[in-house]
Amino acid sequence: MTFQEKIIPRENLEKFLRILDSDEGIRIDNESNHIFVNKTSKRYCIDISTGDKDDFIYKNSTAEVMDFLKNYINQTSRIFSY
């Protein structure tokens, strides 16, 4: 099995979140942390990884995830699907 990453343009993030499957994820790389977003059948799981510490936040909708992520995404952020 090979691991494939694809860069997501910032303006397409909401679309990718909406169609995310349970075996897929989104990674956001920032200067100070990495954010991983996955989706189960019922909700989204957001993992904010800073150094050796992980914080998990759960959201119920794409809109909630986008509202939460606006505080973490900036012009230098790189977004990937995997």
Segment-wise mean pLDDT, segments of 10 residues, the chain, 82 residues: 82 96 94 95 96 96 97 94 94
Residue range(s) defining the domain that contains residue 65: 6-81
The model's pTM: 0.90
**Residue in this structure with the two tokens 């994820």, named with its chain if needed:** 25
Q: Are 50 and 33 in contact (CB under 8 A)?
A: yes
User: Which residues partner with 6 through β-bridges?
Assistant: 81
72 within a domain of the structure (yes/no): yes
27 within a domain of the structure (yes/no): yes
pLDDT value of residue 16:
96
Burial 55-73 (b: 16+ CB within 10 A, else e): eeeebeebeebeebbeeeb
59 within a domain of the structure (yes/no): yes
1 within a domain of the structure (yes/no): no
pLDDT value of residue 3:
64
pLDDT value of residue 4:
81
Query: Structural domain tally of the chain?
Result: 1
66 within a domain of the structure (yes/no): yes
